[in-house]
Amino acid sequence: MAIEIRKHGRVGAEILGVDLSRPLQPEALAQVRAAFAEHGVIFFRDQSITEQQHIEFAREWGTININRFFAAHPVHPEIALVVKEREQQHNIGGGWHTDHSYDFEPALGSILVARALPPQGGATAFASMYAAYDGLPENLRSRIEGRYAVHSARHVFGSKAAVYEAVQDTRSDGRIGNAAAADLLDDPVHPVIITHPLSGKRAIYVNPSFTLHIQGLPEEASRTLLEEIYAHCRSPEFQEDFHWRDGSIAFWDNRATWHYAYNDYHGHRREMHRITIAGSALT
């Protein structure tokens, strides 16, 4: 089967002509790797893969990083469950973020497989941090070049999380938890602008969920500067929605994109399986 790579609007690319239930041949894998590095997020449609095949595909890219804060799949702990039950109000990932920026070696990417979808809604938005970097106005670029930012998971997953009340309903049934582990984490520092390890392109690497502050700036100046960066990164010109269907898979690069799970399907269940792949320190 010949592989076709079709741009997905402003962000990402759809890969046609692959069957992820079987190992990809080296040439096909090389094409998929190149598309991933170039576009930041790749999408597959009409796939039918088991949990084990999901794990095997993930292992083609690196070591699996088992999520410490989401419930694990009962049989395959490599798979984190991203579930919203019919009666829940809050969802996982309902704010712009990139996974695991709170790690010293942030995750390479995450592979999300749709397992149960609401009749409508439940899309995921992606924003390209390559495009956001390329579109930086000069006066903002010059103020953030060479700066570093502190990231953390404690305010999101820890016992003193500001959002604790908001996510009570998910914590109480065990789908987000492990606050004690989050409390013990040290906060890493990453460049605000990175050189992407696969593509060599530059990308903005701060995000509204996990970035605490810009190193070396007073609190107010850091907050204002981060808000300015976020307002820029949230521009519609850098974003595209992905509408899930049965058999859809999204594989995003956490160093090149942000994502956001819409929470617009109350009263319906949505179950996604996520595998996150370990990355490396960023420069």
Active-site residues, by number, are: 97, 99, 259, 274
Q: With respect to ligand SIN, which residue has the nearer C-beta, 39 or 97?
A: 97
- Six-digit token string for 250: 């999204």
- Does the protein bind ligand SIN through residue 65 (CB under 6 A)? no
Binding of residue 109 to ligand SIN (CB under 6 A): no
Binding residue (CB under 6 A) for ligand SIN from 54, 73, 196, 259: 259
Q: Sheet containing 124-128: which strands, arranged edge to edge?
A: 239-242, 124-128, 257-261
112 strand-pairing partners: 250, 274
Region of 92-100, 181-189, 195-203, 232-240 interacting with ligand SIN (CB under 6 A): 92-100
Residue nearest to ligand SIN according to CB distances in the complex: 93
| Contact pattern from residue 112 through residue 151 relative to ligand SIN, giving x for each residue in contact according to CB under 6 A and a dash for the rest | x-----------x---------------------------
User: What CA–CA distance (Å, rounded) separates 143 from 138?
Assistant: 9
Residue 81 pairs with which residues in a beta bridge? 273
Q: Decide: 198 and 277 in contact? Cβ < 8 Å.
A: no
Nearest-angstrom CA–CA distance, 198 and 36: 9
Indicate whether 261 belongs to the interface with ligand SIN (CB under 6 A): yes
- Least distance between ligand SIN and beta carbon 275 (Å): 11
How does strand 41-44 pair with strand 13-16?
parallel
Region from 18-26, 91-99, 171-179, 204-212 binding ligand SIN, contact rule CB under 6 A: 91-99
Which is nearer to ligand SIN, 93 or 279 (by Cβ)? 93
* Chain-centre distance for alpha carbon 71: 17
Tokens describing residue 240:
């595209």
By three-state DSSP, how is residue 235 classified? coil
Residue choice 35, 82, 113, 214 for contact with ligand SIN (CB under 6 A) = 82
Q: Minimum Å distance from CB 281 to ligand SIN?
A: 22
How far apart (Å, rounded) are the C-alpha atoms in residues 232 and 270? Answer: 31
Least Cβ distance, residue 110 to ligand SIN (angstroms): 6
CB of 93 to ligand SIN, least distance (A): 2
Q: What is the identity of the amino acid at 7?
A: K
Strands 189-191 and 148-151, bridge-based pairing: antiparallel
Tell which residue, 250, 232, 251, 273, has the closest CA to residue 123: 250
Query: How many residues bind to ligand SIN according to rule CB under 6 A?
Result: 11
Shortest Cβ 138–ligand SIN spacing (Å): 32
Of residues 93 and 191, the one with the C-beta less far from ligand SIN? 93
Q: Which residues lie near ligand SIN (CB under 6 A)?
A: 82, 92-93, 99, 110, 112, 124, 259, 261, 272, 274
